[in-house]
Structure 1
Amino acid sequence: MTDISSFPDDLLQLQERLHHAHAEHRAYLVGLPWSVEPLTGWARSERFSHRGDVPDSPGWSDEQKETVDRVWDEIRELSITVVDHPRWATVAREEMVAARMRLKKQTHPIAPGDVTEAA
């Protein structure tokens, strides 16, 4: 049985960066308008809306779209790097899911409120 309880420092750091990128992405999205493109809002009585009245959305600026794309690119690259790490070649197939879950838990995901606003 492979020891799935220990991970190399570089893999731990990559997973922590991935958690941070996800948290940064979520925190940034919270401050954006509800629609990427400009759209007219509606009153609760016009359509079903559990949020009540929905205001007009000015859409996202080019800078906001670029920031979201940049963070998504970072998330994708980090995800690929974590998944392709050589450590996984030493883990038995039947232990892989447990090992990956242990890595995620060991690196303590960041809560969205703990991240400063994206640049």
Structure 2
Amino acid sequence: MSATTPSPEHASAEEEKFNAHAFPQKLRDAQRRAAELYAELHALQARLPWSREPNSGWPEVTDRGRERAGREASPGWDPADAEAYDKLWEDLREATAAVQTHGWWKTCRDHGVQGPDLVAARQALKTAEGAVPLARDDVDTAA
């Protein structure tokens, strides 16, 4: 029997109605913030040179049938970009910690949601209404 549907002899009316996917608004807001920060960090990384510090790169090497891709020279990051990157990483760590340590997960465990059911609830949060920056309809509309 699933952890979200306790046996009748042990179930109270409250436990039968508990829905681990009925996320509180503050948790959905925290997840949305984490997703937005991740997207910002990813966009910043996409435009930065591959090396934070100046690096001369290396040539492509083919040796006895093995290939090793080369790397072009990198001028390094502008100090403002490095500062923005570090700030985004710190903010993202704080946002994900807020999601992972939110009291909702203890409430779920208190209601018998554990193991795969708790993992499924945590995964469902990532696509819950209001917890993602864009919904599928938003993407279709923008395209």
Structure 1 length normalisation: TM-score?
Answer: 0.80
Query: Which of the pair has the greater relative contact order for Cα pairs under 8 Å at 6+ separation?
Result: 1
Q: Which residue of 2 aligns with 1:73?
A: 90
Percent of matched pairs sharing the same residue = 33
Q: Does 1:63 align with 2:87?
A: no
Q: Which residue of 1 aligns with 2:114?
A: 93
Larger displacement relative to structure 2 (28-37 or 87-96) = 87-96
Measured in 2, the distance between the counterparts of 1:55 and 1:65 equals 20
**Matched positions, count:** 108
Structure 2 length normalisation: TM-score?
Answer: 0.67
Measured in 2, the distance between the counterparts of 1:15 and 1:58 equals 35
Letter in 2 for 1:26: H
Taking only aligned residues, the RMSD between alpha carbons, in angstroms, comes to 2.1
| Alpha-carbon shift at residue 5 of structure 1 (Å) | 1.9
The ranges of structure 1 where at least 4 consecutive aligned residues each deviate by more than 4 angstroms after the TM superposition are none
Q: Which residue of 2 aligns with 1:83?
A: 100
Gaps of 5+ in 1: 115-119
Gaps of 5+ in 2: 5-17
Report which of the two structures shows the higher radius of gyration computed on alpha carbons. Answer: 2
